[in-house]
Structure 1
Amino acid sequence: MRIISGTHKGKRISAPKKLPVRPTTDMAKEALFNILNNRYYFDELTVVDLFSGTGNISYEFASRGTKNISAVDADYGCVKFINDTSDALEMGIAAFKSDVFTYLEKSREKATIIFADPPYDLPIESFEKIPQKVFENGLLLDNGLLIIEHSSHMDLSHLEHFVEKRKYGGSIFSFFAWPEPVTL
């Protein structure tokens, strides 16, 4: 994986093979960050990266100037890798081990961007639970976006707060926001 833009542009990061991950492709990540770049100043964001895996998305935000990033993953190896990489690159990402659904129940941290990249083989009910818990618990700031990456074989457009979806290869980003109009 590589960092696309910012202070660490072009930096390649090699994750251990044993981690249970499926990183977001460079093509999909670049498209996503082009969307976000047109809407936000990265240095003003608060980001929560759920199912963070290798930390691919967190590193991209940090490289672009985001200072307040929390990465949440249930796998200790993933959390250790993110913390080690963040320390080595002086990114300041706060990675911690937690079941994402427990985190969504207990956390009161509000964020501008909540990015979730669950394992594609989770049942659709688990995917549906993410926006439900985010909005029910008020975890997204008024001008924020919840972005869920999922397989192109899944459709989340029926869920409350759904705004739009974008397809990149076999992946889709579904965007969710508070009721006021959002233009991507």
Structure 2
Amino acid sequence: MPLTTPKAGTRPTTDRTKEAIFSHLDSRGVLDDARVLDLFAGTGALGVEALSRGARELVAVESSAPAAALIARTLTALKHSRSWESDMSARVIRARAEKYAASAVAAPFDVIFIDPPYAFETEACNQLLSDLAGGDMTSARAVIVLERSTRSDEPTAPAGWEITDRRDYGETAVYYIEPVSVGIL
């Protein structure tokens, strides 16, 4: 399904990076029946791709009103397509990712995508990771997939978590962050 991109304000994940992320996740089977949280959702591409690869639930969080409206339209179209299954659910929440992570009451997520603007400060990124890992928002098998600029400082994994992999794709660094007991490698 083609996704519409807002006129300005988003930096969609490149097709090459998206394919690499999902190949990595598919090889581990973490998307099967997963609950997915897509923070800084932008176009919603990561969350929609997760649904197309076996995830059952998506919560897309986006602060930009135009981008959130586009995601909502995409999800409505998806829900009316042949690929939509009755046990799937998806919704968009218009909120700042940091505020959602710090205060949301939700069932634990299995996969969390974080794709903030490259200007998002490392300290803010580390706080966001801590808020997610320190509450009830992550399942025991959770994988956090964080995209940053390769020029940004490396994030710090929260207590009890570790960066299990880092892959660079041009200007984008992708970090896989998991509870210490799970491990990707």
TM-score (norm. length: structure 1): 0.87
Tell me the amino acid that sits aligned with residue 116 of structure 2: P
Per the TM alignment, residue 69 of structure 1 is displaced from its structure 2 partner at its CA by: 0.3
Quick check: 2:4–2:43 contact (8 Å CA) kept in 1?
no
**1:157: Cα distance to partner?**
5.2
State the secondary structure of the residue aligned to 2:144.
strand
Asked whether the 8 Å contact 2:31–2:53 carries over to 1, the reply is yes
- Give TM-score scaled by structure 2 length: 0.86
Are the counterparts in 1 of residues 58 and 91 from structure 2 also a CA contact under 8 Å?
Answer: yes
Please say if residues 147 and 175 of structure 1, whose CA atoms lie closer than 8 Å, have aligned partners that are also in contact: yes
SS in 1 for 2:119: coil
User: How far apart are the structure 2 equivalents of 1:69 and 1:177?
Assistant: 19
Question: Cα deviations across residues 78-107 of structure 1 (Å, max 9, x unaligned)?
Answer: 111111111112154210101111111111
Structure 1 consecutive aligned stretches of length 4 or more whose deviation exceeds 6 Å: none
- Report if aligned partners of 1:48, 1:111 keep a CA contact under 8 Å in 2: yes
Find the residue that maps to 2:28 and give its secondary structure: coil
Matched, 1:86 2:75: yes
The CA RMSD over aligned residues, in Å, is 1.6
State which drifts further: 59-68 or 168-177. 59-68
- Aligned equivalents of 1:46 and 1:143: distance in 2? 11
Unaligned runs of 5+ residues in structure 2 are none
1:142-178 CA-partner distances (Å, limit 9, x unpaired): 1111111000012325433222211111101111111
How many residues are treated as equivalent by the alignment?
173
Work out the CA distance in 1 between the residues paired with 2:7 and 2:156.
36
